[in-house]
Structure formats: structure tokens, C-alpha cells
Structure 1
Amino acid sequence: MAFENPTRDEIKRLLEDSQVIAVVGLSDNPERVSYMVSEAMQAKGYRIIPVNPNADFILGEKSYASLKEIPEKVDIVNVFRRSEHTPPIAEESVAIGAKAIWLQLGVFQAETAEIAQNGGLQVIMDRCIKVEDSILLPQGKSKS
């Protein structure tokens, strides 16, 4: 069966119910898309946790070398890595108990989807989290 992203309503519920987004491949370079998207999501009220073994802090947050090193609950794992590098990220996302794995625009990997879905995660691929959030939650996150 071919992969299908969740419906817009399901994605909206995920965004509404999520606070912490771990961003795998978040660059400390403000000119990179990963930085711009994460900065925008941070401004919308999400807690961004960088996952980049080559940086100490990004966007004012401590950076971790891997998802397993993050000492708190992660809701969404947002991935800015090439498709072929995502299956191990799906395995780590399952291991840490994330709600969802989100592969950014242009990133699609059937094996990653299968690993994540079998581990009980919601899977979104080839979509920009910033674009979806802007469309579905234009007023930002409500402080609950």
C-alpha cells in the first residue's frame, strides 16, 4: 500500500497537541532553511531542540548529538536530512517515544515511514512543518 500523509485535520491536531520539536539536522547557519524554519516555529510558540553534533547551541537552545541524548519528552522529530539517512532517525524517534516524525519538503523514504508507523508514530513526509503550521494554526499556538 502506498504511503499517504495524514489529513490536514490530523496534522492540525498533532501541531495543537505538540510543544517540543527536536530538529535533526538543524544548522547553526541563519541562511540555511533548517534554521529559518526552526526559528519561525520557535517564534510561533514551539520549543525547538537542536540535534546537531557539531554545534553547542542553536537558537538559544542546547544542541544534542542524537535524539537519545535529549533529557526531556519530544513530541515531533522534524528531519532536515537526506532521505537515505532517515531510517535510523525513525528508529531513534520510536525509541524515545516521540508522537511523530516529520520529514521536510523533498524528503521521502518508505522504509522510514514503515519503521515509524510500526513503532506507533504518526508520519508526515515531503511537507514543510512551517508551511503547514502557518496554514493550520495562523494565530499561533494557544497557551494551554
Structure 2
Amino acid sequence: MTEQHLPDASLDTGSVAAPQALREAAADAAAATGSKDAPAASGSSGSWTAPSAGERLRILRRTKTVAILGASNKPSRASYFVETYLLADSDFELWFVNPNETEVLGRPSYPSLEALPGVPDLVDVFRRPSELDAVLDDVIAVGSPVMWMQLGLADEAVARRGAEHGVTVVMNRCLKIEHARFHGGLHLAGFDTGVISSRRRAR
């Protein structure tokens, strides 16, 4: 099942896409240079432009703290897949947000963005599509400059409203995949290879 076929009503917190779906999306991400963000909704007023690859790289470079909204201890959840990668392979300080957890991966879990010890530079969202409007309200309220919607999540109306409030919105992209892409560790299967050269390795 690919991300665009995920039924909204069946999504639990932190379960936007399964690891297999992330691996399949990684192959697409590695093979394509164009935007994978959802197109403008038919009949919508105004427009929203997806941040370019260069803009996404700049976002990652200036990001120090990341709030994982919908963090989970369950290995079957997409958020777990991203959390473990970022803990091992990024310099980000991670803050986990899930009102149903007291700890995630041995670290404190906060009930809301408002309860975090500071303002996150980026909020990585693993929530139901129907909750994105409310998530944006929380992002605006705490003053975070970036709302990053994981694979399977896209809402142009939310993106436009975010822009109106000074929030940069990235839609339908995996933070793990984007980080690995820009740091030379994106294998076609979506795993960190540890190789930081563009030179093809000998078979």
C-alpha cells in the first residue's frame, strides 16, 4: 500500500506510513529530482509552491531542534523508523511529543508542543490528515518556523495558511529520506549506507 492510498480514518498517531512504504518512497526520492509534494487542489483559491530541494536543504542546515509530533515506541510505526535514524545519524536535538507516552526510546515524551522545553526549529508531523489544521494552530502558537508533513500528508489549504503566518510548510516528504539524501547516505532501499561519495562503487 503506497502513501496516497492510506485511508484517513484508519491512521493512528504516528502511523502515517509503514517502513516498507518509506523504503519504496526512498527509491522514488533517489531517482527523481522533481518535487514529490502534492499538487494544488482542484478549484482551490490562490496557490502554494513546494520548497525546492535547495530550500529544503537550507531548512535542514539551520535546524537544531526537531519535535516529532506523534512519536512512538512501536517499531511498526513510521515515526519510530524516522526517530531511530535521526537519533543515530543526525545532529538534531529531538523532542518527542505524544500524550499517550511518558517516554519514547528512553527519552521524555511531552503531551503537546506547548509543553516542550523550548521552541522547536521544525515540527515533524505524524498525525491524521483531519488533524493538520489543529496541528498548524499549535505550531503557530508556539512560534515554530517550520511544519514538516511526513509522507502521505498533504493539505494545500494548511500550507497556504501556514505561509500567511510565517510558517514554512513542507508536505508529503520524509525527514529521514531528505536528511539522508542531502548527507550522502540515501540508498535505493532507504537506508543509510555510510557512503558520502557520488562515485559508483565497484561491483
Equivalence map 1:1-144=2 (5 Å): 1-43=46-88, 44-138=90-184
Cα RMSD, aligned residues only:
1.6
- Worse overlay, 101-110 or 114-123: 114-123
- Using the alignment, how far apart are the partners of 1:50 and 1:57 within structure 2? 8
Higher-Rg structure is 2
Q: Which moved more, 1:121-130 or 1:106-115?
A: 106-115
Q: Which runs of 5 or more structure 2 residues have no equivalent in the other structure?
A: 1-45, 186-203
Report the Cα offset of residue 4 of structure 1. 2.5
The code of the aligned residue for 2:105 comes to L
Give the structure-2-normalised TM-score: 0.65
Q: Percent identity?
A: 32
Is the deviation greater in 124-133 or in 111-120?
Answer: 111-120
User: Once the 2 structures are TM-superposed, how far is the Cα of residue 32 of structure 1 from its aligned partner?
Assistant: 1.2
Distance in 2 separating the partners of 1:128 and 1:110: 17
Alpha-carbon contact 1:79-1:101 (below 8 Å) kept: yes
Q: For 1:49, what is the secondary structure of its paired residue? A: strand
Is this contact kept in 2: 1:87–1:112, CA < 8 A?
yes
- CA–CA distance in structure 2, aligned partners of residues 87 and 94 of structure 1: 11
AA partner of residue 74 (structure 2) = N
The one-letter code sitting in structure 2 at the alignment partner of 1:10 is E
Q: TM-score, normalised by structure 1?
A: 0.90
Structure 1: unaligned runs, 5 residues or longer: 140-144
Once the two structures are overlaid, the 10-residue window that deviates more, 129-138 or 110-119, is 110-119
Q: How many pairs were matched up? A: 140
Q: Which has the higher strand share?
A: 1
Tell me which residue corresponds to 1:142: none
Q: Is the 1:48–1:61 contact (alpha carbons within 8 Å) kept by the matching residues of 2?
A: no
Question: 2 CA distance for matches of 1:7 and 1:89?
Answer: 23
| Contact 1:24/1:51 (<8 A) preserved | yes
Does the CA-based 8 Å contact 1:91-1:115 persist in structure 2? Answer: no
Per-residue CA deviations over 1:92-115 (Å, capped at 9, x if unaligned) read: 111111120000011011232123
**Contact 1:116 1:123 survives alignment (8 Å):** yes
Cα distance in structure 2, aligned partners of 1:9 and 1:62: 33
Cα pair 1:104 1:125 within 8 Å, conserved = yes
